[in-house]
Amino acid sequence: MVEEVRIQGLGVIDEAVLELSPGFNVVTGETGAGKTMVVTSLGLLFGGRADPQRVRPGAERATVEGRIIVDPGGKVVERVEEAGGELDDGALIVTRSVSAEGRSRAHLGGRSTPVSVLINLADDLVAVHGQADQQRLLQAGRQRSALDRYAGDELTKPLRAYTSAYQRHRQVSALLDELTTRARDRAQEADLLRFGLEEIEKVDPKPGEDTELATEEERLGHADALRTAATTAHEALLGDPTAVVAAADAVGLLGSARNALEAVRGHDPALATLADRLAEVGYLLADAGGELASYAESVEADPTRLAVVQERQAALTTLTRKYGASIDEVLAWSARSAQRITELDGDDERIEELRGEHEELTERLRELAGELTAVRTRAAERFSKAVTDELTALAMPHARIVVSVTQAADFGAHGADEVELRLASHPGAPPLPLHKGASGGELSRVMLAIEVVFAGADPVPTFVFDEVDAGVGGKAAVEIGRRLAMLARNAQVIVVTHLPQVAAFADQHLLVEKSDDGTVTRSGVTTLDRDGRIRELSRMLAGLEDSELGRAHAEELLALAAAER
């Protein structure tokens, strides 16, 4: 249950504390005092839309803090712990603030949390029913959703199976549509890919071939210069064997230097070491000279081979210009394209497979939709009777609710059913849609009857009603108070009302009152004792708090309500 709510800077409320009790809590006050802000504050606590226009003029932000008693071993505590929050002496503290600029913040159990977490928790903690909810319930989709909620677990399993089949049916339908409507585009794509593959196949490139050919072309194009350089270097190292007069060469000079050192190496170890190093250098130079001679002999100018290499490079360049920056990338494109052609060529077979699956899914949907219709039809009969019984208790003994379940033209996300609530207001009257068959007062009672039935089918710890009794008076108002009191036997009920007949049945009466200091209106909330309740009920009845007749009537109402509770 919601134990306490603290409100700051919300609408006309500067600062207020609502101390709520188990059972039936009623909130009353003059028009404009801020009663609706009480419901707004509860809505904010449980993830409602943050409207910066609700922030009190002059205030930086509106803040609502709620203290909620929860089951220590229940799902709510598990979700709170998952969000990193914790309980405070067995109570959950929820805080929501909205700045004047529209920024919203939420805290759960002492930890900052996304507003979506509060919305998820609300399903297990509170059901808010306001005037806007009445209008939403007039919508066909909301009526179908309401019936599904009433049907409960009996509908859950077939609806889950239907939803899964429906989603796959849509996927298969989309694939079929794409494959059949884009046949020409796919054929053109396949032709382009085949042309590219044929062009690559004719050239038959090898991995890394472009790099190897570039190296070979560079060598063939500079063969004379390479041979001349190698020959010159060989002569510098080993001399020219064809020369008549031998010229000095690096190896010969090095040999002379080594011979000079070898003659005296025995006299100084340091000089012997240098002689050994010259010997090593001599071996290296001799090897290098021999390799240069072999290289010079191997280098030949081959114009024919150069032409072949350049022609092959031109063919490869044509491929790299179209299909990739290198031959390796061209070959990768070729592999991908071959796979894509296989996919495109297999579309006809794929279409047949999808058509078969589509037919199977359609038949499956038809079966599952039939199950949903059967469950909804049974639930509609129970729901109609339950709401009709409630209307009898709400001073509409001749009214009858009919829930119409009809087949739609096609499958939808929730089946093939169209659900509509209809009201026959008196015997012999045809059942009409709610917005046509009910007056304002009747509609309020119908909505309350529906909500009371929902409360039995889908119980939550706390119910909030915002002027659900609008447009009702007299005996019907007494019956509404009686039904709300009955609902409060098993749950906490918070009601914003302007009817004294309803307020008299409350276990706790909260008064929202405003005071004017000449500059700004401030509203606060007071818990009334018995005398305060008599004064407030008298005001609601006669418009005068101290009217003797009004007080007598108020005491009579309280006595009646006490006797029935």
Secondary element (H or E) of residue 106? strand 104-108
Tell me the C-alpha distance between 370 and 363, whole Å: 11
Q: Which pLDDT band, with edges at 50, 70 and 90, does 505 fall under?
A: very high
Is 70 exceeded by the pLDDT of residue 44?
Answer: yes
Identify the burial level of 256 via C-beta atoms within 10 angstroms of its C-beta, where 0-12 means exposed, 13-18 middle and 19 or more buried: exposed
Residue 11: pLDDT over 90 = no
What pLDDT band is residue 241 in, cutting at 50, 70 and 90? Answer: low
| Rounded mean pLDDT, 82-111 | 87
Q: Which helix (H) or strand (E) holds 27?
A: strand 24-28
User: Which of 109-113, 183-187, 371-375 is the least confident region?
Assistant: 183-187
Amino acid (one-letter) located at 366: R
Radius of gyration of the chain (CA): 46
User: Per-residue confidence at 441, pLDDT binned at 50, 70, 90?
Assistant: low
Maximum average pLDDT range among 33-42, 77-86, 494-503, 543-552: 494-503
| pLDDT at site 346 | 66
What percent of the chain has pLDDT above 90? 14
Instruction: Give the number of other CB atoms < 10 A from CB of residue 418.
Output: 16
* pLDDT, tens only, 118-143: 888 877 777 776 655 555 566 777 78
Q: Where are the beta strands (DSSP E) in 20-75?
A: 24-28, 61-69
Q: What's the CA angle centered on 508, arms 507 and 513, to 5 degrees?
A: 150
Lowest mean pLDDT among 98-102, 281-285, 520-524: 520-524
pLDDT tops 90 at residue 461: no
pLDDT in tens, 13-41: 888 888 899 999 999 888 777 777 888 88
d(CA 92, CA 85): 9
Residues 502, 508 contacting (CB under 8 angstroms): no
Residue at 35: amino acid letter? K
Residues 6+ apart with CB under 8 A from 82: none
Residue for token digits 């190093």? 277
Least confident of 85-99, 427-441, 475-489: 427-441
Q: What is the pLDDT of residue 133?
A: 57
Average pLDDT over residues 301-323: 86
Question: Which pLDDT belongs to residue 165?
Answer: 93
- Compute the C-alpha angle 434/437/438, nearest 5°: 80
The single-letter code of the amino acid at 64 is V
- Of 309-318, 319-328, 466-475, 477-486, the one with minimum mean pLDDT is 466-475
pTM above 0.85, yes or no: no
Q: What is the mean pLDDT of residues 55-71?
A: 87
Please write the tens of the pLDDT for every residue from 531-552: 999 998 888 887 777 778 888 8
Most confident of 108-112, 229-233, 522-526: 108-112
Query: What are the beta bridge partners of residue 111?
Result: 108
Residues of the chain above pLDDT 70, percent: 91
97's enclosing H/E stretch is strand 91-99
| 190 Cβ neighbours under 8 A, 6+ residues apart | 341, 344, 345
**pLDDT at residue 167, rounded to an integer:** 94
The answer to whether residue 247 scores a pLDDT higher than 70 is: no
| Residue 13, beta-bridge partner list | 10, 523
Question: SS3 for 211?
Answer: helix
Q: What is the pLDDT of residues 186-220, one digit of tens each?
A: 778 888 998 999 998 898 989 988 888 888 788 78
Residues 133-171 pLDDT 10s: 555 566 777 788 888 888 888 999 999 999 999 999 999
Q: Which 3 state secondary structure label does DSSP give 411?
A: strand
| Whole-number average pLDDT of the chain | 83
Q: Are 86 and 107 in contact (CB under 8 A)?
A: no
Closest CA to 107 of 166, 155, 64: 64
User: Considering only 76-80, 450-454, 476-480, which range has the smallest mean pLDDT?
Assistant: 450-454
| pLDDT surpassing 60 at residue 518 | no
Higher-confidence residue of 238 and 91: namely 91
Name the phi and psi angles at 109, rounded to 5: 60, 35
What the block records as the tokens of 14 is 């500067």
- pLDDT, mean of residues 369-390: 92
**Mean predicted confidence (pLDDT) in 236-260:** 74
pLDDT at residue 144, rounded to an integer: 86
pLDDT band (50, 70, 90) for residue 360? very high
Pick from 369, 365, 233, 221: nearest CA to 295: 233
Is the model's pLDDT at 347 over the cut of 80?
A: no
Specify the pLDDT at position 250.
Answer: 82
Side chain identity at residue 397, one-letter code: P
